[in-house]
Chains A and B, each alone.
Chain A
Amino acid sequence: MDFGFILSSAAGEIFSPTTAAYALAALGLAVHFGYSGLLNFGQAGFMAVGAYGFAISTLSFGVPFFVGLLIAVVSSVLFALILGIPTLRLRADYLAIVTIAAAEIVRYVVTTNQLTAVTGSANGLAAFEGGFYGMNPFPEGSYFGMNNRDFFIRVIGWGLVVVCCVIVWLLMRSPWGRVLKGIREDENAVRSLGKNVYAYKMQALVIGGIVGALAGMVFTLPRGAVQPANYGTELTFFLWTCLLLGGMATVLGPVIGAMIFWVVLSLTQGILYGLIESGAVTWLTTVQAGQLRYILVGIALMLLMIFRPQGVFGNKKELAFA
C-alpha cells in the first residue's frame, strides 16, 4: 500500500474545488439552520438551481459569464421566495418536507426528456465553462503541481468561500444577525418586540440560498458538466453532515467540516482500496468499499447528532434546538 499517495490525495482534497463547493453550500445551511433555525433539506435544490441557471443561460441564450452568474443568483432568490412563502409561517418540519420535495421537483424537471433540448435530460449539460476559463489571468504552466485551469478554479472557489464567510460573519454580528439568532432561540419573544419574524426568516432563506447557488456553480465548473444525478437528496444530507461536523452556528465550522468530510472520505477510500489490492481484505469488493464509506457517513451523522450536536467548533449554547 502506498501511504504516500493515499496521504497526498487526501491532503489534495482539503483545497479541491469540490470541497470549496461543499463548504459554501454548508455555509448557506449554517445561515439557514445554525443561525435562523430553518430546516432546509433542499440545499441540493439550491445548488441545482445555481448550476442549471448558469449552464442554461450560457448555452441556450449565449450570455456572457457575469450575466449567467446573475441569472443563477436571481433564480435561486426566486426559488427561495417560492419555498418560503407557503412554509415560513408553519412549524419547522413543514419547511423540511417542502424544501426536500422542492429540491426533488427541480431534479425531476431537469431530468425529464421533455426538456432535453434545454436541460440535456439525464446526461446533463456540458461545455459552458468557456467564458469562465476565458477570464483566467494565469498563463499556462505549473502552479503547485496543478495546471493553470485547476489553479484558477481553486483560487476562485476558495476566494468565494472567504468572501462569503466574511459576509456571513459581518451579517451575524450586525443587529440584523442578532434578531435572527433571537428568532432561532424564541420566535415569539422576538415577535413581541415588534420584529417582522416572517421577513427576517425570508431574508435568511434567500441569503443562504444565494450561497447555495454559488456553491452549485463552483461544484459544476471544474467538472465542465452538470448532471441531475449529482443533485439528489444524498447531496443535501452530506452537506448536513459537513455542517454538523464543523458546528452549525459558526462561520468557519462548515468550511472545516467540509474539509474533514472529504479528507476522511478520501483516506478511507485510499486505505480500503489499498487493503483490497494488497489482498489483506478479501471480503470486500472495491464497489462495496465505496458503499462502506457512505455507511460510515450515515453512522457519523447519527453519532454526531446524538453525542456532539454542537460539532467540533460549536458552542453548545448556540444550538438551533434545545
Chain B
Amino acid sequence: MGAIASAVVAILLVAAPASQATTPSPTQPPSNQQFQNSISGFLRDDTRAPLEGVKITAKSGDFTGTATSGANGSWRIGVPTQGTYEVELDESTLPEGIKLAEGQANPRSVTFSQTSNLSVIFAFGKGIVVQQQDFGQNLLNRLVAGLSFGLLLALASVGLSLIFGTTGLTNFAHGEMVTLGAVLVFACSAMNLPFWLAIILALLGGGLFGYAQDAGLWRPLRRRGTGLVPMMIVSIGLALAVRYIIQFYFGGATQQLPFAQSAEIQIGPVSISPNNLWSLVISAVVIVLIGIVLLKTRLGKATRAVADNPALAAASGIDVDSVIRIVWIVGGVLASLGGILWAYYRPGVTFDMGSQILLLIFAGVTLGGLGTVFGALIGSVIVGIFVELTTVVGLAADLKYVGALFIMIVVLLFRPQGILGRRERVG
C-alpha cells in the first residue's frame, strides 16, 4: 500500500503542472482550429527529467501539424481525422547529449484506435531498449485492465438493469448519463473547485439528472400508459438531445481530467496505471455495497420485488413509484461514477464518450440477462475482460469492441435469457 501511496503522490506532483498545460498547443495559429482528435505524449530522458523545446511533426496526406514540448515535456498535436499519421521528432532540437534510444523508429507511422487521443512514446538514452513484453505478462496485464474496465462498465449496467427491471424501459439515454459524470467533473475542475468537491458534485449531478428524468419524463409517460417501445424511442430522442446539449457547451474537443496522465506502476507481476487501480478498487467497493443493499435491506428487497412483479409489489404495500424514483437516482449516480472512471480509463472526456460504451453496457446487461442486477454485473465484467483480451490474441485494437458485440449476438442465439436470466423473461 505504501508503494501505491507514494506513487500516487508522485503522480500528483507530475500532473499538477500538466493539468494547467492541457490547453491544446497552438498547432495551427492562423485558423485557430480546435481539432477533436490529438496525438500527444511526454518527452522525458532516461533520468525521467522532462525535455523542453523539442519539435514534433505529424503528417498525413496534405495535413501537417507541429508541436513543441512544454516545460513538463508534454506535447500535443491536434489532428482533423482519426487515421494513420507519420510522426517525426526533430532530433536537431533535442538538448545536447540526449539521443533517441536504440530501436526507436523516427519518423514512425502511428494509427488511431478507438479513442480520440493517441499517445506516442519516444524513449531516450543509451542502452535503453523498449521492453518487449512476453505473452504471459501481457495476458496478465490485459486481464487486470479488463477487470478494471469491466467493473466500471458494471457500474453503468447495474443502473441500466435496475431501471429495466423496475420499469421495463430500455434506456438509450444511459450513455449520456455516463458522459454527464465526466463532463461535470471537468466543468467543476475548470472552475478551480477542489478535486474531491468536483467528484461529489458530479455524483450529485448524476443523481439529480436521474431524478429529473424520472419525475419530468418517465413517470408522466408511465401514468399515461405509454408503451415500452414508444418509451424506448423517446429515450433515443432524449439521448440525441442531451448528447448535443453537452457538445453545445463542452465542444467537440477531448479534454483531460486532473491527474489523467500517469505512469504505470509495478505490483507484483502486474503493471497497471494507478488510475486503473483506483478505478478497480472504487468500482469493486461500490458494487459490493450495492449487492449488500439489494440483498439485506428493506429497500433492496422492495426493489427486487418491484422488478419481479410491480403489481404484486404494489398490492403488498410497497410504494412502487418511490422505489422507481430511488432506482433512477441511484442509477444516475452509478452512471456518473462509471463515467468519471471511464474518463480516466480512456483517458479523456468527450461529449460522446458515453454513447461509445452504451452498446458495451447493453452487451453486458444482455449477456447477464435483461433485468437481473447480478447478471448485469457478471456480464459487464465478462465484456470488459473480453474486450481487453481480444487484443492479446491478435485482434486489432480498433476492432476490440467488435468481439464483445459479436459475443452478445452469439449468446442471444444459444441462451437468449442470458447467463442469469430466467427463460420466461424472453417472451
Contact = CB atoms under 8 A, between A and B. Distances in A.
Given A86-B409, A123-B83, A292-B244, 7 more contacts: A86-B413, A90-B416, A109-B399, A288-B248, A291-B244, A298-B242, A309-B230
Nearest to B217: A302
Nearest to A122: B83
B232 interface: yes
A130 B258 CA distance: 52
B153 to A, nearest CB: 15
Interface string A165-185: 000000000000000000000
A294 B240 contact: yes
Contact of B416 (A94, A104, A241, A309): A94
Nearest to B84: A113
Nearest to A109: B402
Interface in A225-281: 233-234, 237, 240-241, 244
Interface stretch (A7-15, A20-28, A95-103, A196-204): A95-103
A299 B412 contact: no
Interface stretch (B187-195, B220-228, B286-294): B220-228
A175 B238 CA distance: 38
Contacts of A237: 236-237, 239-240
Interface of B: 81-84, 111-112, 170, 221, 226-230, 232-234, 236-245, 247-248, 251-252, 355, 359, 362-363, 366, 370, 396, 398-399, 401-402, 405-406, 408-410, 412-413, 416, 426-427
Secondary structure call for the B interface? helix
Nearest to A244: B233
Nearest to A87: B412
A1 interface: no
A294 B102 CA distance: 50
7 contacts: A39-B229, A86-B416, A97-B408, A113-B111, A287-B252, A298-B240, A299-B237
Contact of A113 (B81, B227, B396, B412): B396
Interface string A274-313: 0000000000000110011011011111111110010000
A220 interface: no
Nearest to B401: A108
Contact of A123 (B81, B227, B243): B81
Nearest to B111: A113
B233 A100 contact: no
B239 A112 contact: no
B338 to A, nearest CB: 19
Nearest to B227: A321
A185 B237 CA distance: 25
B221 to A, nearest CB: 7
B237 A300 contact: yes
A232 B221 CA distance: 29
Contacts of B413: 85-86
Nearest to A102: B409
A57 interface: no
A305 B362 CA distance: 23
Contacts of B426: 90-91, 94
A94 B408 CA distance: 11
Interface string A11-51: 00000000000000000000000000001010000000000
Given A91-B427, A101-B359, A104-B405, A297 B240 contact: yes
Contact of B248 (A96, A244, A291): A291
